[in-house]
Each structure stands twice: as C-alpha cells, then as structure tokens.
Structure 1
Amino acid sequence: MAYYSRLAALGYKRPSYHRRPGSEPLLALTVGQLVDWAAEEYGHREAMVSVYEGTRWTYQEVRDQADRLAAGFRELGLAVGDMIALCGYNSTYHYLTALAAARAGLLLAKVDPSCQAPELLHCLRKVGARLLLAGNDYYPLVLSLAPELEHSVPGQLFSEALPSLTTLVLAGDQSQPGAYLLKDVQKMATSDGIKRIRDLQECIDPDNAVFIHYTSGTTGSPKAAVLSHHSAVNASKFLERCLNPERKIHKSLVQMQCCHVGATLNGVLAGLHGGIAVVFPSAKFDPCLSITTMEEERCSLLLGTPAMYVDLVNKVQELGVTLTQPQVALITGTIVSEVIARQIIKVLHLKRFVPLYGMSEGVPFFISGPEDTLEQSVQTTGRAAADIEVKVVDSSGTMVPVGTPGELWIRGYCLMRGYWNDEEKTKETITKDGWLKTGDRVILDEDGFCKVVGRIKDVIIRGSDNIFPREVEEFFLTHPDVADVQAFGVPDARWTEEVCVYIRQKPGSKIDERQLKSYCKGKVADFRIPRYIRFATEFPQNMVGKVDKKKMRQDFLQDNEFLKNNEALMNKFFEGNCDNKQNILQ
C-alpha cells in the first residue's frame, strides 16, 4: 500500500492490521429464507444423504420436512424467540431440526452428543431450554436429571432440576413415559400451520439469534455463544465460495459432529448456498465408513478435524487403498502442523488442502483460498476472511508491527452476538469497540496470512524461560514414528512448571521415552526437552471435539513418577515438614 510504503521511509513500521474487501455484498437474509432460496434454486437435486440411515432428501423435500417439523413445534406451544435444545449424533433429525427451528423463529442450542449428565444439565440450565430433542438413547440420561419425567404427561414436565424444560421429544420409534416421538410432532402439522410457517419467513429479522454453540470450556464450564441469522448466512456463503469457486463440488462428507459451528456453517448451510449435498457416512466418526462412503457417494469435499484426518490416513495406508474421489479437504477444530498436512495431502490425493481458523464465537477468521500456494496452505491458516477486520496486539491492546507475535483480535459480521446470559464474560471477550479477543498468539504478514504460534494462556514458564506448547508439538511431529502429540505444562517444585508431552505413535512403531529425549538433544534447547513423556493410543476430547488438555493434565497429576519426583524435592526443601504438597502441585 502506498500509505505504508511512504511512511516506512520515515521509519514507521506497518501495523499488524488487515481487512480484505469482499467480492460480493453481504446478504440480509435469514436461515429460513436461505432454505426457501435453495429449494427454488436446486429443487430436485440431492441436499442430504444419511448413508447409515438410508435417507435421501432433495432440497424441496428438505423444505417440506422442515416446515412440517416447524409447524409441529408451533402446535406444541412454542413461539418465535423460544429456546430449544438438540442433543444427538449426526443424523437426519439433527440436520432437519436445525433448519426447522430457524423456520419457526426459534433459537436452537446444540449440545454435544458425548455429554454426560452434569454437562447436559449445565447446557440446558444455561439457556433455559423449553424443549429438548434427542435420540432415544438419551432418555435414561434425561430421566436421571428429571425423574419427574416418568410420571409426566408429554409436554407438561415440571422438573426441580430443570425448571424451564417442559417438553422432551425423542427421535426414534420407541415410546417413553413423558416424551413425544419426533414423528408424532411432525404429524401435528396442519396445512394451515405449514402456511403460517411460510408466511412467517418475512417476519423474522436477520439480526435475530438463531443458533447457540457451546465453547470447549477449557477455562471452566462451557459458555453459550449466540450466532445470528445474519452471521450464519453470510459466513456460510463466504465459506462455500471459498471451498467451491468453480461450483463443481456436489457432495461433502461431513465427519465432524453437527453440534459444532464448523459443521453447521461449512456443511449444512454452505450446502444450501452451493447445492452441495451433505453426506453423513455414520452417526459417529468411523474411518472405514468414511472411506467407503466418500468413494461410493463420490464425495469430492471432506470436512473433518486433524485427528480425523490422521485416522483416515492411517486407515488408508493400513487397507492399502487408493482414493479417487476427494479433491478438497477442509480441516478445522484446531491447528494442524505442516508435517501432518503434507502427509494428508499425499495419502488422500488431494488437489486442495484448506485449513480454517475460527472459534465457537465466530467463523471464519482465516481460511486458505483456491489461489493460495501449497506452502501457504500448509504453513499458515490462510488469509483473513473477506469483510472482517483483524489485528494483532500486545498485552496492553496496542497493535504490534507486521511479523511480530501478539494476540489476535477480530471485528466483523462473523462474530457471535455474545454469550447467552453471561454479560460479564461477554465484556471480557468483546471490547467496547467490537473487537473479539481470541486468546491466540499469532503472527500476521503483510498479505494477511496468519500463523498461529500458541495460546496466550498456554505458555509454560519454566524458571524464567517461556515455552509454547505449539512449538514443542511441532518439533516432535518431525520424528518419523510420531503420529500426533500434545504438550502442556505441569507443576514442578523446583522450576514452577515442567513440560509434559503425550505421544500417539504411528502404526507399527515402537519408540520409548529415552529414544525421544535423545532425539531432542542438539536440536532444541535443553529447557525445551520435556521432563515427562507418556504414550497414548488416543487423546480425550472435550465437548466440541477438541483434544482436552485440561483432562490430560488432571489425569497426569496422579502419575507416580511425577509425584515421587516432586515429593523428593519438597521433602528436601522443607526438610520433610511440608503440609501443603497438594496445593503446590496444582
């Protein structure tokens, strides 16, 4: 830019700020209106395929099915603005409910299907859901929270633990006390009711809230991030244009769970924009079923998380198959290393590898475009999304020069409206000027490409040395026998913190802690060499499908070697008179 180059001659440094103008105007539409548009634009083209359920719907059938369910919701007494919750794995009913709720003017909170009783209780209480729609398998879980259900009339639940919840709807054929079946709710719809739903579409404001996605809860209980119709429609339009610029993609394999914002926008809504059928190979991720489905259904677009792609690569190599259908792989949920990215491209025979960076609080922030080089796609998270502002700041909130690490802040249409019923946390996250603080430590270059180098709060402080887990993880991924790695800090009686890593080995590999530490010698500073190295076949995940380092750390605090080392240090330091060992090792 002429401004920056002229000022550079005077000694000014270009600030880490970027805004890329969009090639298309933003839309003032609702999700419900997008369903109408897709039904008219794509008509009898396939919109949704659930392979394991044997279901195929066209875009017109999707609108008809969604309107029947929306009218059924209204017959249950739900009104515009009411809150409902959805809990279940990828399925026909999960896809349908998201669109039906939007058509009915409801606000839908998507609960992670792997939730346990305390998590489900928190999520329902947090938003005050009036209705919960879930699979039949969830009935015992709901009953454990609301035992009154067993003796209730459907739609008239009075629960002490869940005072807002009045209605439970089950997707399946097995009737249960106090609950409606989904198919019966759809049957409640009348022709007049469906007409009212279609007339309603002009009355819903695009700025109204439509979806709630729960955050990962790494710093406490999950927060409820509220997304508006305007954000959802425009973010998904931009994503579809980026993934499908030549409009040649007709089917996407959705492997991540639809409770995540990534699947909602990149899968369900992007499919409506571009006529891309959403294909569910299974309820839960299964690499064998994904491989079979992508070939048989001719899915050219893959949606998944880094862990899913690692499993896909391993399974493809194990089976010795050659994939012919995948062209584009969107990878979201967390940042993937260059080493893993290149292996994914090689084994899956991809034409494009598309990292997407966003959060439950907003998507997209950065994405790799069709014009990007291979190096840009595997070494960065792509360029800033169109029509949003990004900047990188220091600890005081002042912009840093281009190429300097700092915290990423975002402002624009893609952001959440705030956290539901949590003004304090919303103010902590979004400034008065509308900037969302991501908590991520990044480097922004002059062209708007971003490289994530860690989390602001994830820094491990060993003595006086700062160590970023991301840097440790990237180093270990250069080892030929390491498939995946997670690094985090653990308390230490001498250094305050030490580095701990958990390793997933590649199939057939046999490496031990001693070999890995020897591998570090001469390649990284001694203080960066992990004190503890452990091995795992899989990593625990939190409610939004990300690796749960919080749980890994909590579990590690019971490790025998860790406890013995620190006890010896504390006994020596306190001469055996320390009564607060557990408080020190937190």
Structure 2
Amino acid sequence: MSAPSYASGVSDVPLIGETIGENLRGTARRCGDRDALVACEQGLRWTYAELDAAVDRLASGLLALGVAKGDRVGLWSPNRWEWVLVQYATARIGAVLVNVNPAYRTHELSYALRQSGTSVLFAARAFKSSDYAAMVAQVRDGLSELREVVLFDDDPAWERLVATPADDAALAERAATLSFDDPIDIQYTSGTTGAPKGATLSHHNLLNNGFFVGELIDYTEQDRVCIPVPFYHCFGMVMGNLAATSHGACMVIPAAGFDPAATLRAVAQERCTSLYGVPTMFIAMLADPTFAEHDLSSLRTGIMAGSPCPIEVMKQVIDRMHMGEVSICYGMTETSPVSTQTRTDDPLELRVGSVGRVGPHVEVKVVDPETGLVVERGQTGELCTRGYSVMLGYWGEPEKTSEAIDAAGWMHTGDLATMDDGGYLAIVGRIKDMVIRGGENVYPREVEELLYLHEDVIDVQVVGVPDEKYGEELCAWVRLREGASLEADDVRAFCRERVAHFKVPRHVLFVEEFPMTVTGKVQKYKMRETTIEQLGLVAEEATR
C-alpha cells in the first residue's frame, strides 16, 4: 500500500516569536552599517541604521496623527522606498496595513477602503495611466471612515510625517501592547462572490514566512535581493522585503513597475545575488535587447512563482543568468503566501515539474474533495495546508473564513495536486475556476458581475483560456438584450474604466446561449474547449 499524501516540514530552526518591528530592530543592531534599501530610480540608499531610524520617525508621526493599534492604514502605490517605509512603520505601531493593488480603478479602490474601514491612506500621485490623486478625490466622499489622505509627492503632510522626531517613549509604550499574533496586514484577493476578500495576516504569519523562504535559499547579510515584483502582493513585501530584513540582506528596488532593462541594470550595478519574478518577467529579461550589456555574474539564486515555468526558460535562467540555485515557490495570499518550495539543490526536472516540498513548520495533505480523506501518493486530490502561515481569516467575513479554513485549521486551497514518494507536489488543476494571468489571480465571477452592470448585457460567463505570453487570458461569453449591438472593443472599454487591466477580457464572444447541464448549470469546461477551437488557441493543462 502506498504512503498517504501527507507531509510536515520538520526543522531544527525555530519559529520567530517577535513582531516585525522587533525583528527589524534586532537586524539594525546586528547589521547597522550594511545596506538595507536601495531604490535605483529614486536615488535612495539606506543602511539598516538609517532605515530603522526612518521607521521610528514615520511611526512617531503616525502616533501623533492619532493612529491607534488596529487602525487600518491603506497604501496605494507602485514600488518605491516610501512603500517599504510605510510597511515597517505601520507594523512598529500595530496598525493594520491595507495593501491596495496599483492597478485598481475607482470601483475596486472604493470597495477595499470601505470594507477594511481604512482611516488613513498613503498614495502616490500617479503611476503610468493611473491618476491616483484624482481617483481618491472621486471616491472620497463615499468613505466616511477615511479621515486622512497623504500623497508621497510634493505633499507637506508627507514631509511633516517623515520628519517627525522619534518619540522613543511613545514607541516603547505602544510596543508593550503588541503581540506577534496581532493582525498586521490585509491583502485583497478576488472572491468567487464577485467581491474581493481581505485576507488578514499577522506579524507571525508574515515574518516567519519571509524568514523561512529566505532560509531555503540560504540568505545571509551578504545577499542583495532585486525585487521587481509588486510590494502590494506577498511576493514583494514578504518573500522580498521580509526575507531580506530578517536576514540582514539588502532590498533593491529596480523601478516603480517592472521594466526588464531597468531590472537587469539594477542587478548588474548593485551586484545582486538574488532576483525575483514570475516566468513572464524572466522571459522578458532574457529577450531584452540590452541583455548582453549587463554583467549578471553576481546572481546565484532567486524565486520564480505565480505560474509554471517552461523548462527552456528555466535552463536559460540557470545558464545565462547564473541563477543555479533558483527556487520555485507555491502558495496563496491566505497562507502568507508560501507553503511549498523547491530547494537549491533540486534537479532541473523537479523545478519545472513540481512546486517543491512542504516548507518548515508547515503541514500539507492531499485529500479527496468529496470525502475529505487523505489520498494515496500519486493520486489527485485537493491540496490543503496548515501551520503558522494560515491567515487569521477574511476581514469582517467569518462565514467566508469558515468556508476556507476547516475546524482542524486546514486551509483548503481549491487546487488539485498530486504528491510523489519524495513529497514533491505537482499542481494539476483547480477546483475553483480561478484564472492566473501573468501571475495575477482573477476570479471570473468578479468580471461577470461587473459586466452584468452593462445595460446591453443580459447574461455573461467568463472563462480562462491558454495564452502564450501570460499563461492564461480571460474570454467573456456575452448574451445581449434583444436589439442591442456591441463590439468586443465596447465590452473591453467598459471593463477597462472600472477594473484593473489584468481583469479585462482579451477575448469576447457574442452568443445566443451557453452550454448547460440537464440541471441548468453552465458547463464552463465546454465553453473553454469551444473558445480554444474557435480562436485557434493552443490548449495546455491548467496548472498553477
């Protein structure tokens, strides 16, 4: 009889029983004169002593502003040094950081700030085509709890906050009230009901996940981590920032948003030893016309996550980018995020054919979705995970929390997986119909409910279909009211004004009916097959 599909992450290294603020303070004491943060575009370079002092000043400014323990503080910005500063300053005083996706439009922004009860919002003035200041002004009247908006660029309020003298007594008084189990971060993940859910995470969740991700790729204070992935997501702020600061490594921000040439330049100029990205980012860097101009020989490791990596891309990352110890991670926002990870000495076939083994102090099991019983190794079932990394819950939604986390503390991922005899997991499909587009998670229901608002749409179904560049793209099947006339571009324009660009359907099909079961349920798998056939797409096994 085969072994059960269960594994626990045995480790001689204990979990960290500190708040994020305490941990940063300890790193600053050990590594005060070492580089902590480099923002290449902005020309900023801080040592750990300078970062810790800046965190104290902003934290003191927030206390003077009346921010209490547990108050929600929103942050809407691309990657820049101010993001990092707000992340650690809010943690130091026990405020709950609300991560706002830089791609959000007004509808999503308003929902996140209202649902979380955000009272203070930090934001960049603009990024690319998004005028953040204008969008905040547009929705602010409808947000009764939002009392302060602070912009990073040319705003006297920001300048006053970051120049506040450190109030050591007030900071110590607040620190004495904090527990590492306190909620410290809310990250919105699209929900099957159409409204995003706020995964609520603690110091203990985030600090330990960042630390152990860094442990598995052998981080020390000698490492310099290039982080082109967004900070609003766990990939950037946990696997990037917290992995670095818990080891005394340096965080390097190549640019506000991902730019392949800027990332390559940052690696070369700062002699980075580690580089993060989703596979499409690495593909873009390898194809960049300036690739050969950059000396990447300092690289040894890094992390790929978000979607499966093609084997040829992995070979080039190892050979041409010198990342022989690159690691694959799997997880979800609700688990801080990483549950499984490949090790630095795993062979190539396991780095492209699996999502690694269970992480330290974490448990995983693969269960029959119908019975909940653990399946034998090699059999397919739902992947569940348990341990320090599982979120506290969805903010303000206990029923949704209980649907995701069972009575025994297992987080049900909704992903279908197999576990081999070595404990390596492969993701083979999804119970949920979530689409992963270039590393961004999109739930079709959210896009469907948006399109229901269009006066000419009487019914709509959205499915994920294969895409060579992004892994998956959205296709909307639309039924129009009688006499209405819409073009695909009209549908896309309607979405583009209201939601993030990655939620806008690339493909739009106008139909008279949907494939249905005899009991009246829409058969999305048939819609996907039909779309692939009609559009001439190349079908691939759904993976994550």
Classify 1:401/1:499 alpha carbon distance in 2 versus 1 (closer, same or farther; 3 Å): same
1:518 corresponding residue in structure 2: none
Residue 138 (structure 2) aligned to one of 123, 136, 144: 144
For residue 438 of structure 1, give the secondary structure of its aligned residue in structure 2: strand
Residue 429 (structure 2) aligned to one of 454, 461, 477: 454
2:468 corresponding residue in structure 1: 503
The amino acid that maps onto 1:394 is: D
For residue 57 of structure 1, give the secondary structure of its aligned residue in structure 2: strand
1:537 corresponding residue in structure 2: none
Superposed CA deviations along residues 109-135 of structure 1, whole A, max 9, x for unmatched, are: 111111111111011011000100111
RMSD of equivalent CA atoms:
3.3
1:293 corresponding residue in structure 2: 266
Residue 404 (structure 2) aligned to one of 405, 429, 443: 429
**CA–CA separation in structure 1 for the residues paired with 2:499 and 2:87:** 17
Classify 1:85/1:405 alpha carbon distance in 2 versus 1 (closer, same or farther; 3 Å): same
| Larger RCO, structure (CA 8 Å, separation 6 or more) | 2
Residue 558 (structure 1) aligned to one of 509, 519, 526: 509
For residue 302 of structure 1, give the secondary structure of its aligned residue in structure 2: strand
Q: Among the aligned pairs, what percent are the same residue?
A: 30
8 Å CA contact 1:299–1:325 kept in 2: the answer is yes
Classify 1:88/1:248 alpha carbon distance in 2 versus 1 (closer, same or farther; 3 Å): closer
**Gapped regions of structure 2 (runs ≥ 5):** 127-131, 445-460, 471-494, 516-525, 529-544
4+ residue runs over 6 A deviation: 486-489, 496-499
2:285 corresponding residue in structure 1: 312
For residue 361 of structure 1, give the secondary structure of its aligned residue in structure 2: helix
Question: Superposition pairs for residues 128-143 of structure 1, below 5 Å?
Answer: 128-137=117-126, 138-143=132-137
Question: Superposition pairs for residues 123-522 of structure 1, below 5 Å?
Answer: 123-137=112-126, 138-146=132-140, 159=141, 161-173=142-154, 175=155, 181-187=157-163, 189-191=164-166, 193-217=167-191, 220-244=194-218, 247=220, 249-315=222-288, 323-362=296-335, 363-396=337-370, 397-458=372-433, 500-504=465-469
**CA–CA separation in structure 2 for the residues paired with 1:108 and 1:544:** 22
8 Å CA contact 1:316–1:347 kept in 2: the answer is no
367-376 or 93-102, which deviates more: 367-376
8 Å CA contact 1:86–1:132 kept in 2: the answer is yes
8 Å CA contact 2:39–2:252 kept in 1: the answer is yes
For residue 225 of structure 2, give the secondary structure of its aligned residue in structure 1: strand
**CA–CA separation in structure 1 for the residues paired with 2:315 and 2:443:** 25
**CA–CA separation in structure 1 for the residues paired with 2:65 and 2:443:** 48
Residue 65 (structure 1) aligned to one of 54, 61, 80: 54
The amino acid that maps onto 1:139 is: A
8 Å CA contact 2:221–2:249 kept in 1: the answer is no
**CA–CA separation in structure 2 for the residues paired with 1:38 and 1:446:** 39
Residue 115 (structure 1) aligned to one of 104, 108, 127: 104
For residue 403 of structure 1, give the secondary structure of its aligned residue in structure 2: coil
For residue 169 of structure 1, give the secondary structure of its aligned residue in structure 2: strand
Superposed CA deviations along residues 201-226 of structure 1, whole A, max 9, x for unmatched, are: 24311110111112144662221111
8 Å CA contact 1:335–1:357 kept in 2: the answer is no
Superposed CA deviations along residues 15-51 of structure 1, whole A, max 9, x for unmatched, are: 1111121121112100010111011010110100001
**CA–CA separation in structure 1 for the residues paired with 2:165 and 2:465:** 60
8 Å CA contact 2:285–2:291 kept in 1: the answer is no
Shift of 1:322: 5.8
Superposed CA deviations along residues 332-362 of structure 1, whole A, max 9, x for unmatched, are: 2233233432333233232122111111101
Classify 1:100/1:120 alpha carbon distance in 2 versus 1 (closer, same or farther; 3 Å): same
8 Å CA contact 1:249–1:301 kept in 2: the answer is no
For residue 391 of structure 1, give the secondary structure of its aligned residue in structure 2: strand
**CA–CA separation in structure 1 for the residues paired with 2:301 and 2:291:** 22
2:486 corresponding residue in structure 1: none
The amino acid that maps onto 1:503 is: E
The amino acid that maps onto 1:323 is: L
**CA–CA separation in structure 2 for the residues paired with 1:585 and 1:231:** 39
**CA–CA separation in structure 1 for the residues paired with 2:55 and 2:302:** 29
**CA–CA separation in structure 1 for the residues paired with 2:354 and 2:160:** 49
Classify 1:503/1:333 alpha carbon distance in 2 versus 1 (closer, same or farther; 3 Å): closer
8 Å CA contact 1:488–1:500 kept in 2: the answer is no
1:9 corresponding residue in structure 2: none
The alignment of Structure 1 onto Structure 2 pairs a total of residues equal to 471
**Structure whose alpha-carbon radius of gyration is higher:** 1
The amino acid that maps onto 1:186 is: V
2:44 corresponding residue in structure 1: 55
Classify 1:340/1:221 alpha carbon distance in 2 versus 1 (closer, same or farther; 3 Å): farther
The amino acid that maps onto 1:98 is: Q
Classify 1:500/1:64 alpha carbon distance in 2 versus 1 (closer, same or farther; 3 Å): closer
**CA–CA separation in structure 1 for the residues paired with 2:194 and 2:315:** 35
